[in-house]
Structure 1
Amino acid sequence: MGVRGNLTDEHLRSFHSQGFLVVESFCGPEEIDAMMGRMNHLLENFDCSSTSIFSTRNQKQSSDDYFYESADKISFFFEALHEIDPVFCKFSCSEKIAGLLSSLSYRRPVIIQSMYIFKQPGIGGEVVPHQDNSFLYTEPPSCTGLWLALEDATIANGCLWAIPGSHKNGLVRRFIRDDNGVHFDQPSPSYDRRDFVALEVKAGSLVVLHGDLVHQSFENQSPKSRHAYSVHAVETDGCSWAADNWLRKKAEPEPLYSS
């Protein structure tokens, strides 16, 4: 399948220099309304008796079946939406997502993970500094994060923050599953908050994140929610899914395209 890249040379220079890229107006109001409406429908059937919380701050070393088996079902922290739900699949597997990944030189990409992130007013919590390749590791590393703002993301309601150029320093630690459970293989480095820049974006903007970019978000201290839809892609042409990844897939995902 021939897929045309949709990023400009200027986009690519900025992404490779900074490790992130903001693409404004990537989605229109109709697409946003469809995804948020679909999530409202899913919430109506939400069974709160079995929930799991994903946190980059507190990672248990004990097993949590609901969390660790979420890769193949829609779970409430809302995973695998890109595979099962038609509304989210339509966006995740769209030509514009394929074109963006083609611009980044992906040859046979798969969407390996997706999450709907609520960040509710006053209670939306902090996501500490991390790198996406820590959690979704291939050999060699190939993860790219695609973070879609479904509502305006501001400093007040917990927008993304990133350290420009930090992707050039490589991956510092991994989140693995082994005989000792699920844990990081290295302690967390210390980061200076002054090195981060705020990525305030309007609803419909897409933030593209290099897998080694150090990024985070703070608590939502505003009266406004900050909903977002996050998708992660990895390469399968010349890259292999690491056997000790915490996330285990029961079946090989279908590639978006094969160039």
Structure 2
Amino acid sequence: MGIARNLSPSQLQSFQTQGFLVLESFASHEEVVAMRTRMDQLLHDFDCSSTASIFSTKNQQRTSDDYFYDSVEKISFFFEEKAFDGDGNLKQPKELSINKVGHALHEIDPVFKRVSSSDKVSSLFISLDYKRPVIIQSMYIFKQPGIGGEVVPHQDNSFLYTEPTTCTGLWLALEDATIINGCLWAIPGSHKNGLLRRFLRNEEGVHFDRPLPSYDQKDFVPIEVKAGSLVVIHGDLIHQSFENQSSKSRHAYSLHVIDTVGCEWSPDNWIRRKVDPKPLYVS
């Protein structure tokens, strides 16, 4: 294929030990600007009167609907919980009210597709010994100033389950992420304890099979990164982010990748695709 492995032995060891890895300057300044500019265009063209779907990690059972389910193969827009007043009207412009855009940017939009399917992304998964990786979902996350919602502690394998588990998250900072504006926090080494609960979909909707575990916040460490840095996240790593109560946003682009060789996609995942996604490569 002509794609070289790009993680050093020390980086792989750090990832295996900590459950996450920071790769600074993974995306160029030009790539970051291109993604942010393109999202500005998508938001400008978005007719917010056509939907008022809200995304919340605290109330996912309540806020999951057909718009959410269908977003797996579309570019869909989800509002912050605090974006609306008591009468259901936006309290500020739509550009400052959106929580995220997902979940098929990597397939539909040429700007995000180019970054998502780049050689450097493929080589990263070669380093991680994936045989036939596919991007199962993508998200542009805004973490809006003042109203950017909390993301409760979770593991990505809960939502994107394969047997055996294979999900790896890629979280690309498009703005500097700091403690003040809602950076990621993680419990180093927590991926070694395995998967704690699953997010299931059935004929009645979606639900977790177990309650949210209790965590000691002292165990979490902040992952502050500069724009262009990539955080690689093991699917069993416990991670979270707090509300953004600052005046500065924290844009990021996130991908979740699974392997499709030697494992099986669970039919009770929330994602149910009509068309199988194309692999990044076949080893």
TM class by shorter chain equals over 0.9
Count of aligned pairs: 259
Q: Quote the residue 1:227 is aligned against.
A: 251
Choose 127-136 or 174-183, whichever is displaced more. 174-183
SS of residue in 1 equivalent to 2:77 = coil
Q: Residues of 1 paired with 2:47 and 2:152: CA distance?
A: 28
**Structure 1: stretches of 5+ with no match in the other structure:** none
- Residue 202 in 1 paired to residue 232 in 2? no
Determine the structure 2 residue equivalent to 1:82.
106
Question: Does the CA-based 8 Å contact 1:38-1:87 persist in structure 2?
Answer: yes
Q: Deviations along 1:156-180, whole A, 9 cap, x unmatched?
A: 0000000000000000011011133
Hey, which bits of structure 1, 4+ residues long, moved more than 4 A?
Answer: none
The residue correspondences of 1:105-254 to structure 2 (distance < 5 A) are 105-254=129-278
Quick one: which amino acid aligns to residue 138 of structure 1?
Answer: T
Task: Give the SS at the match of 1:230.
Answer: strand
* CA RMSD of superposed structures (Å): 1.1
Tell me how far 1:222 sits from its aligned partner: 1.3
* 2:56 match: 55
Conserved? CA contact 1:118–1:227, under 8 Å: yes
Counterpart position of 1:24:
24
Give the TM-score of the pair, scaled to structure 1.
0.97
Provide the C-alpha distance between the structure 2 equivalents of 1:63 and 1:146, rounded to a whole number of angstroms: 24
Amino acid at match of 1:13: Q
Q: Residue type matched to 2:158 in 1?
A: S
User: Structure 1 residues 58-67 or 238-247, which shifts more?
Assistant: 58-67
**Alignment partner of 1:5 is 2:10:** no
SS where residue 76 of structure 1 aligns?
strand
| TM superposition shift of 1:63 | 5.5
Equivalents in 1 of 2:145, 2:174: separation in Å?
15
- Check 1:62–1:90 CA distance in 2 against 1; reply closer, same or farther (3 A cut): closer
Q: Deviations over 1:191-235 (max 9, x none)?
A: 010000000000000000000000000011211110000000000
Cα offset for 1:40?
0.2
Counterparts of 2:45 and 2:203 in 1: how far apart (Å)? 36
Per-residue deviation, 1:144 = 0.2
Alpha-carbon spacing, 1:215–1:177, altered in 2? closer, same or farther (3 Å):
same
> What is the DSSP-based 3-state SS (H/G/I as helix, E as strand, rest coil) of the residue aligned with 1:69?
helix
Determine if the alignment matches structure 1 residue 71 to structure 2 residue 72: yes
Structure 1 residue 34 corresponds to structure 2 residue 34: yes
Give the structure 1 partner of residue 95 of structure 2.
none
* CA distance in 2 between partners of 1:62 and 1:35 (Å): 27
Change (3 A) 1:178 1:61: farther
Gaps of at least 5 residues in structure 2 are 79-100
| Counterpart for residue 127 of structure 2 | 103
Task: Give the letter for the 1:5 counterpart.
Answer: R
Amino-acid identity (%): 71
Per the TM alignment, residue 48 of structure 1 is displaced from its structure 2 partner at its CA by: 1.2
Match status 1:14 vs 2:38: no
In 2, are the aligned partners of 1:61 and 1:180 still within 8 Å (CA)? no
Report the 3-state secondary structure (helix = DSSP H, G, I; strand = E; otherwise coil) of the residue aligned with 2:41: helix
Higher relative contact order (CA 8 A, sep 6+): 1
What SS does the aligned partner of 2:61 have?
coil
Contact 1:61 1:183 in 2 (8 A): no
Q: CA deviation at 1:4?
A: 1.9
Tell me by how many angstroms 1:181 deviates.
1.9
Structure-2 change in CA distance of 1:193 and 1:178 (3 Å): same
- Per-residue CA deviation, residues 90-116 of structure 1 (Å, 9 max, x unaligned), is 000000000001101101000000000
Supply the AA of the counterpart residue of 2:155: Q
Structure 1 distance, partners of 2:55, 2:245, is: 20
TM-score (norm 2): 0.89
